[in-house]
Amino acid sequence: MIALVDCNNFYASCERLFRPDLRHTPIIVLSNNDGCVVARSDESKALGIPMGVPFFEVRELVGRHQIEVFSSNYTLYGDISRRVMEVIGERCPEVEVYSIDEAFVDFSVFSGDIWEEKAIELRQVIWDKVGIPVSVGLGQTKTLAKLANHLVKKRKLPQLWLGQGVAVISTVQDRHEALRTVQVGDVWGIGRASVGKLQSEGIHTAFDFIQCSSQWIRQYFTITGWRTWRELQGHHELPFNPAPPIPQSVVFSRSLSECLWSSKRIQQRVKIFTQSFAEKLRHKQVYASQVSLVLSGGYGERHNLGKRNRHLLVPSNDTRILLVEFEQMCTEILSSNPFGVHRVTLAATELVSTNVQQLSLFQAPTNHSIMQLLDRINQKFGRGTMRVGVTPKEMKHLHGRQRFRSPRYTTRWSELPVVDISKRYSVLSEK
DNA sequence: TCTGGGGTCCTAGGACCC
DNA sequence: TCTGGGGTCCTAGGACCC
């Protein structure tokens, strides 16, 4: 049995954590540069704010309903996520953190008669200790656990609920009923492209989907579609992976708030981004063997694009080494075909763990203590306190537009919330 | 005026090898 | 008239996810 613990409207809930006055106020959270809506509270959903819509398109609606707007505050969300996962980990031995707001939990470590009790308790304790509301879905496979969670969130099939926020699909009858209730496009792993294909064949619900033959599924979908089909029938096809291997790639990508034409300014941005990118590699404890830079201009299909790759003889995450590589790549791209740059993407592939480093025969090992020191200083005194080759003013460009960012309540001493207890105190002292 | 950022896996087709 | 058979590796693009 697998449980999926999923935080409800995670970013919006994080913003509410330190603003209890907003508990019933509609909230939206915006993407980088305050571009799109990436999270909505229930109230905002009810007001008809779609997911992923450009902010300017709903600005009028936001004003009319006095929706509270936040720029994304990943420092805060990352820390709250860590707390949620920690609480789950304290109570369940096998946890696979799937995303910032979701975790799969192996419930087969508990005996069958306490699954329900455990799920309800888990939900309650996350609320008590962290203050984030979650939904828990239980099923025999990851895909069924997802499905159960979906039922809770969409308020469908209350007969499968156990208290608010927990649903269990355990018997065959439960499963069939759940599959009949859910549209095939709402199944985890079946996206927009497949829905059209399925509907033209008269397949609308998840139950219709599992009625198809194995051959037919294999013929019209890739192996991933077939696995979903199997999972919905209770066969494990997606392994439970509590300790995920090192990632395949690490990407750092930013849209610029304005289109840049000057080579000097583009180089500057690349320099700034390289430092954050290298920091990200170190944080993930990997060295890159291959790095690439993509500069793109404009939106839509017909935008210019320049790409360069570099293979590193000795895999690295050292800012100084990466700066040289990215500066060279940037110069090459810009010299071949200059165009207005609207987006910069840095990527690393062929990653190796920092636990092992393959050295070149003729090169001395890198001195890591300097980078460690750099990271410690920047962590303590704020990002960009110590930099390579750019001024503090330039470094500020990094975050683009963030007009509505909340304080980093839990990770910056200077932004700790202040609680005024003077009134309470005076009452006590009078007594 | 204004449109995010970060991932995974799979497949087809080309280049190349013996 | 008639032109093999079996591989590997790489890349781009599609599909999907949060």
Asked whether the beta carbons of A168 and A162 are under 8 A apart, the reply is yes
A358 phi/psi in degrees, rounded to 5: -85, 120
Which residues does strand C reach (CB under 7 angstroms)? Answer: A 98-102, 146, 187-195, 309
Residue type for position A277: F
Residues with Cβ within 8 Å of A110's Cβ and at least 6 positions away in sequence, in order, are A118
Nucleotide nearest to A226 (CA to C1'): B10
For residue A377, pLDDT over 70 is answered with yes
CA atoms within 13 A on the CB side of A203: 23
- Out of A26-30, A159-163, A209-213, least confident range: A159-163
Chain C nucleotides close to protein (CB under 7 A) are: 11, 14-18
Distance A225 CA to C17 C1' (A): 14
Tell me which protein residue sits closest to nucleotide B10, measuring alpha carbon to C1'.
A222
Distance A302 CA to C11 C1' (A): 21
Q: How far apart are the first and last CA of chain A?
A: 56
For residue A301, pLDDT over 80 is answered with no
> How many angstroms from the chain centroid is the CA of residue A31?
12
For residue A83, pLDDT over 70 is answered with yes
**pTM above the 0.75 mark?**
yes
Residues with Cβ within 8 Å of A368's Cβ and at least 6 positions away in sequence, in order, are A318
Nearest to A4 by CA among A106, A77, A81, A93: A106
Superfamily of domain A249-397 in CATH is DNA polymerase, Y-family, little finger domain (3.30.1490.100)
Asked whether the beta carbons of A94 and A85 are under 8 A apart, the reply is no
Whole-number Å distance between alpha carbons of A302 and A215: 39
Distance A385 CA to B15 C1' (A): 49
Nearest to A142 by CA among A215, A224, A250: A224
pLDDT at position A30? 96
Whole-number Å distance between alpha carbons of A271 and A29: 29
Distance A190 CA to C17 C1' (A): 10
Distance A223 CA to C3 C1' (A): 36
Q: Which residue has better confidence, A34 or A299?
A: A34
Asked whether the beta carbons of A165 and A134 are under 8 A apart, the reply is yes
Nearest to A25 by CA among A6, A12, A39, A7: A12
> How many angstroms from the chain centroid is the CA of residue A390?
29
Whole-number Å distance between alpha carbons of A157 and A168: 11
- Domain A1-243 and domain A249-397, same fold? Reply is no
Nucleotide nearest to A100 (CA to C1'): C18
> What residue ranges do the domains of chain A occupy?
1-243, 249-397
Query: What is the helix, strand, coil percentage profile of chain A, to 5?
Result: 45, 20, 35
| Percentage of chain A modeled with pLDDT above 90 | 74
Residue A54 is given by DSSP the state B
pLDDT digits (tens, 9 = 90+) for A44-71: 999 999 999 999 999 999 999 999 999 9
Residue type for position A269: R
| Percentage of chain A modeled with pLDDT above 70 | 96
A291 phi/psi in degrees, rounded to 5: -125, 150
Tell me which protein residue sits closest to nucleotide C17, measuring alpha carbon to C1'.
A189
Q: Which residue has better confidence, A123 or A297?
A: A123
Confidence of residue A401 (pLDDT cuts 50, 70, 90): confident
Over residues A317-336, mean pLDDT: 92
Residue A36 is given by DSSP the state B
A339 phi/psi in degrees, rounded to 5: -155, 165
Strand partners for A103? A5, A97
Tell me which protein residue sits closest to nucleotide B3, measuring alpha carbon to C1'.
A54
Confidence of residue A371 (pLDDT cuts 50, 70, 90): very high
pLDDT digits (tens, 9 = 90+) for A283-296: 999 999 999 999 98
> How many angstroms from the chain centroid is the CA of residue A401?
20
Nucleotide nearest to A256 (CA to C1'): B4
Over residues A408-427, mean pLDDT: 80
Which residues does strand B reach (CB under 7 angstroms)? Answer: A 31-33, 35-36, 38, 52, 54, 56, 222-224, 247-255, 257, 280, 284, 299, 343, 345, 400
The position carrying tokens 């690439």 is: A292
Residue type for position A66: Q
Whole-number Å distance between alpha carbons of A325 and A333: 12
Using CA atoms of A186, A191, A196, A198 in order, give the dihedral in degrees to the nearest 10.
-70
Distance A222 CA to B14 C1' (A): 22
Q: How many helices (H) and strands (E) does chain A have?
A: 16, 12
Asked whether the beta carbons of A280 and A347 are under 8 A apart, the reply is no
Nucleotide nearest to A251 (CA to C1'): B6
Distance A296 CA to C10 C1' (A): 23
Chain B nucleotides close to protein (CB under 7 A) are: 1-11
For residue A418, pLDDT over 80 is answered with yes
Nucleotide nearest to A290 (CA to C1'): C10
- 3-state class (DSSP) for residue A340: coil
Tell me which protein residue sits closest to nucleotide B4, measuring alpha carbon to C1'.
A31
- 3-state class (DSSP) for residue A392: helix
CATH no. of A1-243: 3.30.70.270
Distance A250 CA to B7 C1' (A): 8
Confidence of residue A430 (pLDDT cuts 50, 70, 90): very low
